[in-house]
Amino acid sequence: MANENLDIDSKTAEELYEWYLDDKLIINRRYQRKLVWSLEEKTALISSMTQQYPIPLLLFVSIDNKREILDGMQRLEALMSFIEQRFSLNGKYFNLDAIALTKQLKDSGKLQQKEPVLSRESSTLIARYRFAISEYSSTEDHIDEVFRRINSNGKILSKQELRSAGCVSNFSELVRKISTIIRGDTTHSDIMGLNKIHNISICNDGLDYGINIDNHFYIRNHIISRPSIRDSDDEELVANILGYIFLDDKPTSGSTSLDTFYGEGSTSHAIHTRTQLENYIQTNGADKIVNNYLFVYEMIQKLFDANNLNFRSHILGNASSSQECPRYYQAVFLALYELIINENMQLDDEQKFIAQLGDSVQRSMVQTEGGRWAASARQKSVEDLCALIRRYFKESENKFINHAWQTLIRTLLNNSRTEQPNYDFKQGLFILSGENKIDEECFINIVQTAVAINNIGRESNGYILVGVSDTKATADRVKTLYGVTPIECNGYYINGIDHEAVIQFKKHR
């Protein structure tokens, strides 16, 4: 029996903020949903506090002198972001002089007061608002079950969020990992402090922090919409694609199959399906599956971006009124996966392929009505599309390793925002004096940083990227000296070191 010690109490917003500053509030992303509250929802919470309206209980699990948030992550993040000036209430910002904690941070320069300022009385009222809280201790398995039960009755959760709530399997973990990498809200570890999670907020209308999801490939190309990503339709897309790849008997694409994948149903067919999914992952290895998936994803992204094409418009035509086209994307993805990954082929004629693709996908698609794409229709669509585009591919001479380098680098840059000690970036190996000299001190720093990362812990890993500037001023200096236009990515500037290699090569010829 799980060891349970349930305590019911109340804490003021100020007391919760102290826990937040002391890194006592943590989140386990293995089961927690992503951070999706809009600005409107966040301001509604703060408004409720000023009106002294009741707010649902916060539930914590006591773990090693910290409190893992089981229910209330969105509310707590909204409160802390309001206190720390990330958004306003009716155009006015929390008064940092209202409580001792924020006044000290203001005086030390760690927080900057934004204007106009909310009155001290209103700010104090918010800080003194009492939240009902519950704390208990239990086993990991029991925590998963409690989380699932709490959220299974939630009215605002999407179908996919309900499926994944408390579901712990290799398949669900794989879907989550791939989806977070593609969305960009990755973190170095599944366990992270609440005081860092605002960096990976993906619903940031009117907010100047978090992940800018508007520039996401899915959204720019009308594959799925922004509200759909909020509802985790991007995870449904990944799960449907993986189910097709993993299973010999191709499943339908829709809710029935997804429910089965995530543990619903006790029929022999449902159990056999889940066993096949797990066996495929065990046999092929999760890392290899992730790498293959991201390689195909990145290939599609590069093809359409490089040719300045919109996926929906190119596939369905400019006259299409459809706001989303996930089934068409599935067909293209699975056809490319079959040719490139399963048959070890490579693209031979990009321009003819991309031209043919616009005409072939609609001709090959076998649609079925409703939210369910029948197994036979999906399989025929993929096989027909493979037949139509195969002529633009050739057999790869060597079995090559698929690396989605662009996605990997973006993931590392994102992760550094929540776990800075594990990452370091160097603009290059030259001193930026214009003399084209190797910076000997840089090599020493790299070694020292590697040792420091190793000393974080036995299980710790980290990364040092050379060719990435962490300030615009540095990137501008590289551009002035070497004519390199950097690629901006989440506040970092990728300038590479090709220019240094060329100069060094010429020196030693």
Rounded-to-integer distance, Cα 40 and Cα 106, Å: 27
Final residue belonging to a domain, choices 361, 395, 429: 395
Q: Within a domain: residue 28?
A: yes
Instruction: Band the pLDDT of 155: cuts 50, 70, 90.
Output: very low
60 with 150, same domain?
yes
What's the Cα-to-Cα distance from 66 to each of 61, 210, 227, 487, rounded to whole Å? 8, 25, 34, 39
346 and 495 within one domain: no
**Which candidate, 302, 324, 327, places its Cα nearest to that of 313?**
324
Distance (Å, whole) CA 311 – CA 329 = 8
User: Poorest-confidence range of 164-178, 196-210, 367-381?
Assistant: 196-210
Whether residue 87 lies inside any domain: the answer is yes
Q: Is 165 inside any structural domain?
A: no
Distance between CA atoms of residues 308 and 438, nearest Å: 39
Residues 463-502 have pLDDT tens digits of 888 988 888 888 888 888 888 888 887 678 888 888 878 8
- Mean pLDDT, rounded, for 243-265: 94
Residue-range definition of the domain harbouring residue 241: 217-395
Average pLDDT over residues 28-36: 79
In the predicted model, what is the mean pLDDT of the chain?
A: 87
Domain shared by 327 and 436, yes or no: no
Predicted pLDDT of residue 156 = 63
Q: What dihedral angle (degrees, nearest 10) is formed by the CA atoms of 194, 198, 199, 205?
A: 160
Model pLDDT for residues 45-98, shown as the tens digit of each residue: 999 999 999 999 999 998 888 999 988 999 999 999 999 999 999 999 999 999
In this prediction, residues 205-214 reach a mean pLDDT of 75
Write down the pLDDT at residue 154: 47
pLDDT(216) > 80: yes
- Per residue in 272-300, pLDDT (tens digit) is 999 999 999 999 999 999 999 999 999 99
* Of 226 and 109, more confident: 109
Q: How confident is the model at residue 1 (pLDDT cuts 50, 70, 90)?
A: very low
Pick from 260, 261, 365: which is nearest to 320 by CA? 365
Q: Tell me how many domains the chain contains.
A: 3
Segment among 218-232, 332-346, 349-363 with least mean pLDDT: 349-363
Residues 243 and 376 reside in one and the same domain: yes
pLDDT at residue 204 is higher than 70: no
Say what the pLDDT of residue 400 is: 55
245/98 same-domain check? no
CA distances to 149, 251, 323 from 183, in Å: 27, 25, 19
380 lies in the same domain as 466:
no
Residue 65 is inside which H or E element, if any?
Answer: none
- The pLDDT assigned to 3 comes to 46
pLDDT higher at 101 or 2:
101
Token representation of residue 74: 């969105």
Q: Which residues contact 313 (CB under 8 A, 6 or more apart)?
A: 222, 320
Percent of the chain whose predicted confidence (pLDDT) is above 90: 53
Assess whether 245 and 309 both reside in one domain.
yes
Same domain (yes/no): 239, 359: yes
Last residue of a domain, one of 106, 140, 157: 157
Say what the pLDDT of residue 325 is.
Answer: 92
Q: Is residue 201 in a domain? A: no
Is there a domain that residue 190 lies in?
A: no
Determine if the pTM surpasses 0.85.
no
At residue 421, does pLDDT exceed 50? yes
Q: What is the pLDDT of residues 98-140, one digit of tens each?
A: 999 999 999 999 999 999 999 999 999 999 999 999 998 766 6
Residue that has been written with the tokens 């720019």 in this structure? 220
Residues 287, 348 within the same domain: yes
SS (H, E, C) 216-241: CHHHHCCCCCHHHHHCCHHHHHHHHH
Give the long-range contacts of residues 92-95, CB within 8 A, separation 24 or more. 92/116, 92/117, 92/118, 93/117, 93/118, 94/118, 94/123, 94/126, 95/119, 95/120, 95/122, 95/123
pLDDT single digits (tens) 318-352: 777 788 999 999 999 999 999 999 999 999 999 99
Q: State the residue for tokens 């229709």.
A: 377
Q: Tell me if 406 is assigned to some domain.
A: no
pLDDT category, 248, cuts 50, 70, 90?
A: very high
Backbone φ and ψ of 117, nearest 5°: -100, 135
Q: Which of 123, 139, 157 is at the close of a domain?
A: 157
Residue 234 vs residue 156, higher pLDDT: 234
- Res. 148: pLDDT tops 60: yes
pLDDT at residue 2 is higher than 60: no
